[in-house]
Amino acid sequence: MSDKNKLKADSFDAIHKEALKRWKIAEDYEASFRRISEDDLKFVHGDSNNHYQWPTLITNERELSGRPYLTINKTKQHCNLIINDCKQNKVSIRIHPTGDKSTKEAADTFESLIRHIEYESNAASAYDKAIEDQVYIGLGIVKIETDYIDSDSFDQDIFIKRCPNPYAFYFDPNSKLADKSDMAFAFEFENITKEKFDRDYPDFKNDYASDNFDSNKDDWSNKDTIRIANYWRKIVEKDTLIVFDDELGQQIIIKQSDLDDLQKEYVKSLPKEAIKKREIKQEKVEWYKINGNRIIENGHWAGKYIPIIPFIGEEVVINGKMDRKGHVRSLKDPQRQYNYYTSSAVEAVALQTKTPYIGQADAFEGRNEWSNANTENRAYLAYNGRDINGNQIPRPERLAPAVMPEAFLKGLSISQQEMMMVSGQYQAQMGEQENAKSGRAIQERQRQGDRANYHFIDNQATAIRQVGRIILDLVPNIYDTARVKTILAENGTQTKINIDPNALQASNKIKDDINEKIVETIFNPKIGKYLIQSDVGPAFATKREDAANAITQIVQSSPSLLPVIGDLLFKSLDFPNSDDIAERLYNMIPPQALKKAPPPELQQAQQQLQHMQQVIQQLNQALKEKDIQIKDRALQNQTNMYRAETERARALSNMPPEVPLEQIQPALQKAQQDLLSSTLNDAQKINADWIATSHVQKQNEQQFANQQNSQQEF
């Protein structure tokens, strides 16, 4: 409970009289349903010990006469088909932004927060119990509660509670909506031990109520227990909605009751034309704990909905009385018929003779082996062929074994067929063989049964949608202080959110730029308006199996896709180290397949590689130019050599004839040596230039290859 307070003495009688009057109206409205549904609940749990599926008068008669009355409970299996189908196709709460600064990110955070509340409350157990009661008797209950997170904190949390006894709840007969969200009042009764009563309510220790809340029943207090009535009622308070602009020019929409002192003074200072007002009605919920003729505790509920959610099977009002029913009601007569035919068939067989052989007494005289013919295995049985007068005796004959009467067999078949007809569940759903042979035909027959009982699943979705609506209404009021919560995604991964009621945005996700992971989510549940939707579908584990099967088929048909989607396949599989395999495959996926930029290290390597490619292109161009220069230089040297040789020859040829040959020969030898030395020096320099250029080119090519290898590693 939330916001407990003391009730004023002058309002005690009025609240108590109102509660008593409303409860009697609700009890009278639902009396017929409760009486019949109790028999439905017993019937579906009938077995050979309690005999709930047999009328008491018949069981007494058969017990006295020694006649069999068997219970072959097929009704529960018909119910379990619906119950387990609901458990496999879990209803998930979806939230969509509808305006007033709401965002998709905030809606996703709301979903995760509600999912966390469901996990923490073990809501699956609460839903399963409500679904069972919905199918059995037509009414299951789930309840929402709030409580402090621990004894030394003022922070509260929200919990979804399991309600094992749906008969403890009564609802407003004037409620019109399927989820009962418009009910003006509701009751919850509980019986607690006197020790617990004294411990929980020390102000009333050993002071138990003497008068009954219901004067027609004498079970309010007994030897060991005390009955408590939790009375919820919805009240309507009038208020005024005000619209004005603040000092910064921003529009403010606020209720007059929520104005603080400064805002009140500011609004008074504004001209009338600058303010818009209209009268509104505000729904609030109060709760009271009543023990007999007194109210022992009371308070205000934090939300606008009464936190009791019914899971309804079928509901109809006949002659001003409410009647609800589940799947059992229509199965009761064919089930009784099946039990009767089964018991009668067994009885008929049991009454048939068990004597295996028949013959004249003289044939068996003196032959004891016939006495044990039913219990011993003998190679043969001898009999007396003639009497004492020598007359021939007919041999003994084996009687036909006991036969099941045809009428009973036909009756069993008819009753079984009638159970399938009234339930809409046929052999394909019950696991029996039928005429439908193809997979499609069997699937269509199964879908036919699903459609016949889909109203249970649809009503379940309606109820869980109301669960989400109540939690969505509670969250801004319960999480009204800054705190950090761990929330769960649909696949079970955990993230932390920083709930900040003073944040300027509904949701703000802070990411790590390097790893691109959300490191913090700042969430303000008070900002925005949202719409609740409930989706019926398989649980996440079932979805994961379906995903694994689908991806496996895709990879088998297109093996080349394995390097791209292999991580998704192993994420969907459930065996040790599958997540590690998925992570390794993910790191090998090309960046373009992930539609994201490469890591900074890879980007830097790519830039260096591009720069190196430009340098190599420039060097190649320089090498080409150097090659041309070297060739031009060699040609020029050769030309100069020939020119010098020519000049020397011309100079020698112009010498006077009287110059002796001995003087000319040294000059010619020196000219030849100088020419040879110059040519050799030029060749060596050209060779050195080529070697240096080749070495630089090889270094550049090696560096370019290293850069390419580095890029592939990334």
Round to whole Å and give the CA distance between 290 and 293. 7
Kindly report the three-state secondary structure assignment for every residue of 182-247.
CCCEEEEEEEEEHHHHHHHCHHHCCCCCCCCCCCCCCCCECCCEEEEEEEEEEEEEEEEEEEEECC
For the residues of 126-150, what is the DSSP string, one character each? Answer: HHHHHHHHHHHHSEEEEEEEEEESS
Instruction: Quote the DSSP letter at residue 100.
Output: T
pLDDT of 433: 54
Round to whole Å and give the CA distance between 141 and 322. 17
pLDDT of 31: 92
- Share in percent of the chain as helix, strand, coil (round to 5): 50, 20, 30
For the residues of 604-669, what is the DSSP string, one character each? Answer: HHHHHHHHHHHHHHHHHHHHHHHHHHHHHHHHHHHHHHHHHHHHHHHHHHTS-TTS-HHHHHHHHH
pLDDT of 37: 94
User: How distant is the alpha carbon of residue 114 from its chain centre?
Assistant: 11
612, 686, 700 from 693: Cα distances, Å: 17, 11, 11
Round to whole Å and give the CA distance between 319 and 323. 10
Pairing of strands 494-499, 529-536: unpaired
pLDDT of 154: 81
pLDDT tens-digit profile of 414-458? 888 888 888 877 765 555 555 555 555 555 555 555 677 888 988
**What stretches of 458-557 adopt beta strand conformation (E)?**
483-488, 494-499, 507-512, 517-523, 529-536
Instruction: Quote the DSSP letter at residue 386.
Output: B
pTM (predicted TM-score): 0.68
What stretches in the chain show pLDDT beneath 70?
A: 1-11, 209-223, 353-355, 427-450, 488-493, 511-519, 535-546, 574-576, 592, 594-609, 611-613, 615, 623-624, 626-714
Round to whole Å and give the CA distance between 48 and 71. 5
Where do the structural domains in the chain lie, given as residue ranges? 4-47+89-327, 353-401, 540-594, 605-713
pLDDT of 215: 45
Looking at residue 553, its amino acid is Q
Residue 312's φ and ψ, nearest 5 degrees, are -105, 135
